[in-house]
Structure 1
Amino acid sequence: MRLQAPQVLIDLSAIPEMRGVRLAGENLRIGALTRHAETLTEPLIRAYAPLLAAAAPFVAHPAIRNRGTVGGSVALADPASEFPAMMLAMGAEMEISGADGMRRVPADDYFQDLYQTAIEPGEILVALHVPAAGPRHVCAFDEMARRRGDYAMVGGGILAERDGGVIANPRIALFSVGSTPVRARNAEAEIAGKALDADTIAAAQRALDADIDPLDDAEIPAAMRRHLARVLLGRLLRKLETCS
């Protein structure tokens, strides 16, 4: 995208610590060099990070998925990309390495502005730590794009727990609605502790207006993107209502 013109490029692909997926306590550790294509087939991701597995088929095209890495996507933090928003929805932590050692930054604090993250000069993203989903967790992903593989006009994912018919601890993250992935906290509040009936879903859609502030661009007016986001949220919540 010609955002940078580095004088030196360093190949990280031979660093084994930055590859692979494994359970580490209550988290799933995903090495930053794990390729997009691996998220489609890795059993641990399907079992413990199902929202990431649900988003993976929507990422670009096979040629890109075979080369691109999860960490590369999250480090770039394109606000129209699927994986950064899913890290926000899953409550992931980013493991960042620099000359002063390792540190971990929660997704809620990691995405700061357009293509700007908590990674400082001289640091690299090493791994992503995703809280392992359990039997009570349910998730849903969807996006609207003109063609499959194009950047979405709007997209999002939800991860929540379900106790009987009641939703608990929901996390809703949207992409292509601002300069960063966006956490829809007002919409979350409308569904927390409730059953997902038509009234609850409509209330969450209304509350979403306070969560997003999309900009006008040459292709999609802000008002249209708001409308699409409300429609998408309704789809996500209805999926969540029926998923097992």
Structure 2
Amino acid sequence: MKARAFSYHRAHSVDDAREAHARSGDDARYIAGGQSLVPALALRLQAPRILIDINHIEELRGVRCDGEWLRIGALTRHCEMLTDPLIAEFAPLLRAAAPFVAHPAIRNRGTLGGSVALADPASEFPAMMLALDAEIEIAGTSGRRRVRADDFFIDLFETAVGPGEIVTAILVPRFRCNQRICFDELARRRGDYALVGCGMLATCKDGLVETIRIAFFSVGNVPTRARSAEAVVSGARIDADRIVAAQAALDRDLAPPESDEVPPAMRLHLARVLLGRLLARMSEAA
């Protein structure tokens, strides 16, 4: 199939993009990397009257330290997660997840802001926003606001971004020397969507895990924090018994939906296996 005919607007600022969207009567879509939007257009799953190209808005680019935060522009490409020194130093969980995102051709075009705004529950970066306790900056009619990742993902492909609004940046608390990260996923082939994936960020002291944030993807309609498992591990030393207890706690955290690809019980089993592996690594790092 081919996309329905549409108009094109090349935006030069966030305000310009938002004004173009408002003039369309909301029959518009923003496009940056286009790795999800272009296939949807080709299949006519989406058929907007106008595409608003935000690739040339300079204020959406760049990675920089902003006080205790690392500010990552929404147009930062997936491949930059692998090469940017500030991300490697202050957001290493994103660096650890990046090689698992699809394939090089997609990483070269896909953007962090686009991935987060789409909120595909099988994607790596939205879940890492939860593990990192990130905040998403959104430009709207009343100015800019920041939404915590815990409040950002609402339902399947539904987020706190309203009609005509634009994700402008991701703000991540800067990684500290007493913190540790782990990431992995299980997939049939490298580059396929994960059957289950997990990332975690822990603050450690004297071999104990003071706090930990554990986020799963490909286990439901939204990226999901394993809060019960977090409670089992927080304030304790990770040992074999603690890992088993955390795995058991996943029954209260995850409820994978029915799927033709993987039965819910199998996906939950894989989540327990993956959690055990990552907590074992975290124990060694702590």
Confirm or deny a common fold (TM above 0.5): yes
Query: What residue number does 1:167 align with?
Result: 209
Query: What residue number does 2:17 align with?
Result: none
AA matched with 2:246: A
SS of residue in 2 equivalent to 1:147: coil
Structure 1: distance between partners of 2:50 and 2:92: 37
Query: What residue number does 2:220 align with?
Result: 178
CA deviation profile, 1:35-82 (whole Å, cap 9, x unmatched): 000000111011110111100000000000000001110000000000
AA matched with 1:97: A
Query: What residue number does 2:105 align with?
Result: 63
Query: What residue number does 1:77 align with?
Result: 119
Query: Percentage identity across aligned positions?
Result: 63
SS of residue in 1 equivalent to 2:51: coil
Structure 1 residue corresponding to 2:191, chosen from 133, 149, 158? 149
Structure (1 or 2) with the larger CA radius of gyration = 2
What does 1:23-42 correspond to in 2, within 5 Å?
Answer: 23-42=65-84
Query: What residue number does 1:13 align with?
Result: 55
Any stretches of 5+ residues in structure 1 without a counterpart? none
Structure 2: distance between partners of 1:138 and 1:104: 26
Structure 1 residue corresponding to 2:247, chosen from 205, 223, 226? 205
Query: What residue number does 1:50 align with?
Result: 92
CA deviation profile, 1:90-117 (whole Å, cap 9, x unmatched): 0000000012100000000000000000
Kindly indicate whether residue 146 of structure 2 is the aligned counterpart of residue 104 of structure 1: yes
CA deviation profile, 1:115-165 (whole Å, cap 9, x unmatched): 000000010100000000100010000000000000000001000111011
Query: What residue number does 1:92 align with?
Result: 134
Query: What residue number does 2:20 align with?
Result: none
Q: What's the CA shift for 1:16?
A: 1.0
Any stretches of 5+ residues in structure 2 without a counterpart? 1-38
Kindly indicate whether residue 239 of structure 2 is the aligned counterpart of residue 216 of structure 1: no
Structure 1 residue corresponding to 2:237, chosen from 179, 195, 199? 195
Q: What's the CA shift for 1:4?
A: 2.4
- Greater length-normalized contact order (CA 8 Å, ≥ 6 residues apart): 1
Structure 2: distance between partners of 1:5 and 1:144: 34
Structure 1: distance between partners of 2:243 and 2:46: 43
Query: TM-score under structure 2 normalisation?
Result: 0.84
Structure 2: distance between partners of 1:77 and 1:121: 15
SS of residue in 2 equivalent to 1:10: strand
AA matched with 2:214: I
Q: What's the CA shift for 1:243?
A: 2.7
Number of residue pairs matched?
A: 244
SS of residue in 1 equivalent to 2:211: strand
Structure 2 residue corresponding to 1:118, chosen from 155, 160, 166? 160
AA matched with 1:229: A
SS of residue in 1 equivalent to 2:201: strand
Structure 1: distance between partners of 2:89 and 2:123: 23
List structure 1 runs of 4+ shifted beyond 2 angstroms: 1-4
Give the RMSD, CA atoms, in angstroms.
0.9
SS of residue in 1 equivalent to 2:48: coil
Kindly indicate whether residue 281 of structure 2 is the aligned counterpart of residue 239 of structure 1: yes
Structure 2 residue corresponding to 1:135, chosen from 177, 180, 200? 177
